[in-house]
Structure 1
């Protein structure tokens, strides 16, 4: 399509009454815009002029004129841009020249994410790369639509700005269509016509529209031609747009360190290496900044302003102590794009755009310091039915204030709140009495929910294999799966500072004990037991205190901190004795004997285990009596009295068989095999270990199974049965993998 000829008004002053036939005459323009070129002419045919006249100069736009550079209004790319390799590659694949015929509609890419995630920096980095590759010969235009400011850019203002930018290109635009808000329709027509003309000429244009809050801001700006591309940044998802969305999350831990490392090295005078303590502080700083680019840049700015002896450590400590870290992450000055180095205003605007019920729900969720949470927990926290809770969560995901993880038919739905968002929302609730009370109520309701579920799961783990399953779980496997998914949150719930309900804290800690012991989360077991013990002492509940102290000693024992275990176990035994609870006293003595043996106090351990055995025998607790016999056999073995140890362990096996305790029976058979091997009775040792494996064949105690397979391999080796020993080691490695360990261990299962 040929461009239309433009008509330009010009004036000519003549003397007298000339009569000019101007079919091929050429007359210069002494007072007009420009003199006619070779292909322009002034038409005077049949004209009679008696004074000043107005003529028409026909300007032929088909003539060849020097090419003007394509307009580019992209701001500079951000200095020190780090990471985002995958995201840049994804954008490059989208922005590159189309293969084959041009699509019918323009390509629209939307980079979404929480404010401060570096969306603008990524978009500009991709835009500059695309322009340097020569993919957009028609121009690259940038426009900040200020969608999250109090006065966002309107479509009319946006078109005006884009027309001004396009007027610097290789096609002339009428001046009366540029810069006049009253000519909205004409401006829009001129804008679209210009883009269409560039597309017809095969010249692609890239539009970068930054900070879009509403699709209505950009709908009039979208080109009609599929040759052009539009790159949008927004804090929200825009379902009404036909666009490719690229969600942007935090940087990786390594990229976070690379982002701030140059500034820290400049601060240190260019040193290339950090001490281990400094390296750990840098990692902690990136974690406290939630690995958010804006937060990291503010942190480096704050470090430059600090003149204390150790600015890095002091900033880390200040952030760690802050409830709302967005208030700490504020510095003077602006970034490359003129935006304030302050995080709180970014969050202020995001929260102001939420409907009030969404804000309340987010504050309730944020009051509970979860790493992540299930939909079931969200239902409890928000006090809404599941469909309404899911609708609320979807809205918060769309605003990038939370993220959805593992969503699908095969995995349970999990959700995560950004740490900085949680701190901001918690501070918001603390400043509002109504929100604060809602948050505290949500915390109590969630902990009650956890106590109920944990009690049901604990009953399932302890139930006999042929017993009826509790009503909340279909079986042991489902109970274990729930414990695994919620472990971090359950441990955190025990630590919550809610002084009004100490019983819940103690109960929750005790319901967790069997799972934590079985899955070898010993440090978690220590943590919840210490906290529950403190709460029990404050509430003057001596029985709860004795029970929790016994668990604490057991947990310390398992965590190989036997010297620390003795004190709480002695205290537990004394409390149980004073309370007249011989079963509790016997369990405390039993655990104390284990701690004494681990500390090398073997003779004291023999006395303690016999005391525990006698307590259980007196009250008819045959299952616990079997435990005491088992532990007595271990200390006799440690004393080198293998014959006595074998007889004691055989007695333990009889009691476990009679009480149908397959788990303890398997453990005692494993120890019996080790003792028989030490006594030189190889065939009997093999038989005992194989029987242990048979009994525990259907159990999921993979750590114990791995230990027994290793013991069997060692005994078979000593018997010269190498092929069988090799097979046993393979089975041991398989069980260890399922237990989540690579350790090769031999001996007793404690």
Structure 2
């Protein structure tokens, strides 16, 4: 750039002219300023960093972003691409920029690109350094670019504005920004210069924000295939071994950086079979080490390191606690319990981690998750941050959080679960012809009783401690279980693996019943077996007796269960142990459940004896709801034995006991229906018997 004095028009006039339209400070000489733009774009403004020839899975995002850069818009936006380290923000920006620059008339002034290196302390560019790079790219001589940050920022904005007014619009690309302070001096103010910013953090500047997510499985596999084919055209390993190809892509968890490193590892050794690389990546504890290209800076761990080092000590601690949860996500309350923080403080730290794109908030507010590779990284860092004792204590606090809430849910009156308890006659049944309607009513009511009767009066597992919780009914309980069920299952497996037998028993005990009530019976039976095993290792005989009977109930749950005979064996073991312990409440529970399953096995006389013994125990214990349950069970067995007329009275007694106790009100309705069914069954039986006798006489 040159400055010169030339004669002006008129006597004694002088003109200052600048060849790129700069207004440098106060103009002292002359009264007119003439701006002349360069005749052609300088090389620094004509080129971009090279774009990868392998780019896939982002077509929709590219088109959307290009649309936002169109010159038809009244105001050109600042666009921020935000996402996890290695997710492909820079590559997306460069592809969008290259396509936008190719559009005729969109950016005739060229492009300016600067990598701010915001996450690398050793290479981080200050705003002053970035301004120097941009001004040099605009061919501003060093002597005119000298000054403080405010001056150089105003100079940059003046140049960009002048280009825009002259129809030479420029595209400004600011890569790897780590904060608003780095960006503020660099952003244009003319409303015409388009700007794209990439960052791992949620920035506070006013912009159109785009979250860059990981690739789905198909796009990840396409990227791998294209990268390998680029290095070795015709390499068919990914097509010849699709199973391991998919596994490798999934272990990269959709992260383009991990996928590009994996492709390079395959390209380096064209004869290496996929099964070999798949075996390397399958081991979680070494996966991040394997995703490292020749120990250069291009490594997944190195990318995460830069983000992690910027966290405060409190943020690092919470971040490293999160992978202790073995499930897919976790709640703010769970994090607070592990970290020993108040809920508000835990949420604040989680929001800060989310702004750094290290933690991802779920669609349901108050739940958080980690990208798979970030989870491995956080788990690795936790081993440096926490001792084995601290790690075990944190996991123990998490398990206690789950157990306390599960025990509170377990203690809710089960009759408040309307779907499981509703034995009313469907509307369609009343519209059937009378014989069919009667049969449907009998079947539907007794099937409902078969499903629900074993869930009445179930004692809490020994040793459990209910937490204070806002969950007050089964609708809320089911929502909680839907959110936390996978975490509870994972915590149980974790407790078993870590030989935390008491936690495994408590988690399994609560899970078993919750799964039964949701009719997830295969899972319930697996969990019940694990619970029984844990109870034996705890060394608490009461817990073992409880687990034996719970396992029996679980095996027999379901109208079409084929494991009733096996359930009876576990009932018998539970009864024997409860008798040894002198534990009458548990014994009454086991005896009545035993009677229910004896009835299902067709051993009706033994079933009646078991129900009567249970009723006697509940009477001695002054447990009216238990008495009502035993009476109802006895009545159902009597009905099945063809003694429905006797059953009616027992149902009536049960209904009276239920209605006098708040905990049994909902069961009263079922008892009333069962009484009606017994009456109806008695009438049907009598009518059929009379008809049969008359028929025999006629013969």
What is the TM-score with the length of structure 2 in the denominator?
A: 0.71
Q: Counterpart in 2 of 1:619?
A: 617
Q: Counterpart in 2 of 1:197?
A: 162
Q: Counterpart in 1 of 2:491?
A: 493
Q: What are the Cα deviations for residues 166-219 of structure 1, in whole angstroms up to 9, with x where unaligned?
A: 44xxxxx558669xx899899767644432331121221111111122333333
What RMSD, in angstroms, separates the aligned Cα atoms of the two structures? 4.5
Q: Counterpart in 1 of 2:403?
A: 451
Q: What are the Cα deviations for residues 28-62 of structure 1, in whole angstroms up to 9, with x where unaligned?
A: xxxxxxxxxxxxxxxxxxxxxxxxxxxxxxxx987
Q: Counterpart in 2 of 1:208?
A: 173
CA contact (8 A) 1:159 1:221 kept: yes
- Select which of 111, 124, 127 maps to 2:81: 111
Q: 1:121 to 1:571 in 2, by over 3 A?
A: same
CA distance in structure 2 between the partners assigned to 1:308 and 1:563 by the alignment: 53
CA contact (8 A) 2:318 2:335 kept: no
* 1:238 and 2:203 matched: yes
Measured after TM superposition, the shift of residue 220 of structure 1 is 3.0
Q: What are the Cα deviations for residues 530-563 of structure 1, in whole angstroms up to 9, with x where unaligned?
A: 3322221212223322322433344344479945
SS, match of residue 368 in structure 2:
strand
CA distance in structure 1 between the partners assigned to 2:198 and 2:627 by the alignment: 69
Q: What are the Cα deviations for residues 207-241 of structure 1, in whole angstroms up to 9, with x where unaligned?
A: 111112233333332223211111111111222x2
1:73-112 matches, within 5 Å, as 73-100=47-74, 103=75, 107-112=77-82
SS, match of residue 311 in structure 2:
coil
CA distance in structure 2 between the partners assigned to 1:107 and 1:190 by the alignment: 21
What is the TM-score with the length of structure 1 in the denominator?
A: 0.67
CA distance in structure 2 between the partners assigned to 1:285 and 1:630 by the alignment: 61
CA distance in structure 2 between the partners assigned to 1:315 and 1:611 by the alignment: 65
Q: 1:379 to 1:271 in 2, by over 3 A?
A: closer
Measured after TM superposition, the shift of residue 110 of structure 1 is 1.4
- Select which of 390, 397, 415 maps to 2:368: 415
CA distance in structure 2 between the partners assigned to 1:568 and 1:308 by the alignment: 56
Q: What are the Cα deviations for residues 347-368 of structure 1, in whole angstroms up to 9, with x where unaligned?
A: 1121111111211122223222
CA distance in structure 2 between the partners assigned to 1:237 and 1:299 by the alignment: 29
Structure 1: unaligned runs, 5 residues or longer: 9-59, 168-172, 637-642, 685-750
Q: Counterpart in 1 of 2:594?
A: 589
Q: Counterpart in 1 of 2:324?
A: 367
1:672-683 matches, within 5 Å, as none
CA distance in structure 2 between the partners assigned to 1:670 and 1:263 by the alignment: 69
CA distance in structure 1 between the partners assigned to 2:45 and 2:83 by the alignment: 29
Q: Counterpart in 2 of 1:427?
A: 380
Q: What are the Cα deviations for residues 320-347 of structure 1, in whole angstroms up to 9, with x where unaligned?
A: 542464234334488xxxx61x211111
CA distance in structure 1 between the partners assigned to 2:669 and 2:262 by the alignment: 56
Q: Counterpart in 2 of 1:330?
A: 292
SS, match of residue 344 in structure 2:
helix
Measured after TM superposition, the shift of residue 507 of structure 1 is 2.6
CA contact (8 A) 2:220 2:256 kept: yes
Q: Counterpart in 1 of 2:92?
A: 122
CA contact (8 A) 1:177 1:187 kept: no
Q: Counterpart in 2 of 1:294?
A: 257
CA contact (8 A) 2:495 2:501 kept: no
In the comparison of the two structures, how many residue pairs are matched? 589
Q: 1:655 to 1:517 in 2, by over 3 A?
A: farther
Question: Greater CA deviation, 139-148 or 661-670?
Answer: 661-670
SS, match of residue 431 in structure 1:
helix
CA distance in structure 1 between the partners assigned to 2:4 and 2:645 by the alignment: 112
Q: Counterpart in 2 of 1:51?
A: none
Structure 2: unaligned runs, 5 residues or longer: 7-33, 418-465, 619-625, 659-663, 688-699
CA contact (8 A) 1:295 1:343 kept: yes
1:688-703 matches, within 5 Å, as none
Q: 1:361 to 1:470 in 2, by over 3 A?
A: closer
Q: Counterpart in 1 of 2:23?
A: none
1:175-574 matches, within 5 Å, as 191-239=156-204, 241-260=205-224, 262=226, 270=236, 278=242, 285-302=248-265, 311-312=274-275, 318-323=280-285, 325-332=287-294, 340=298, 342-406=299-363, 412-434=365-387, 436-462=388-414, 472-473=469-470, 475-476=472-473, 477-497=475-495, 502-558=501-557, 562=561, 567=566, 570-574=569-573
Q: 1:445 to 1:70 in 2, by over 3 A?
A: closer
Measured after TM superposition, the shift of residue 305 of structure 1 is 6.2
Measured after TM superposition, the shift of residue 437 of structure 1 is 3.6
Measured after TM superposition, the shift of residue 494 of structure 1 is 2.4
CA distance in structure 2 between the partners assigned to 1:270 and 1:437 by the alignment: 49
CA distance in structure 2 between the partners assigned to 1:206 and 1:502 by the alignment: 62
If asked which structure has higher relative contact order (CA below 8 Å, sep 6+), I would say 2
Q: Counterpart in 2 of 1:154?
A: 126
CA contact (8 A) 1:570 1:592 kept: no
Q: What are the Cα deviations for residues 680-725 of structure 1, in whole angstroms up to 9, with x where unaligned?
A: 959x9xxxxxxxxxxxxxxxxxxxxxxxxxxxxxxxxxxxxxxxxx
CA contact (8 A) 1:576 1:584 kept: no
Q: 1:485 to 1:633 in 2, by over 3 A?
A: farther
Q: 1:318 to 1:470 in 2, by over 3 A?
A: closer
Q: 1:613 to 1:220 in 2, by over 3 A?
A: same
SS, match of residue 574 in structure 1:
helix
- Quick check: which one's helix share is greater? 2
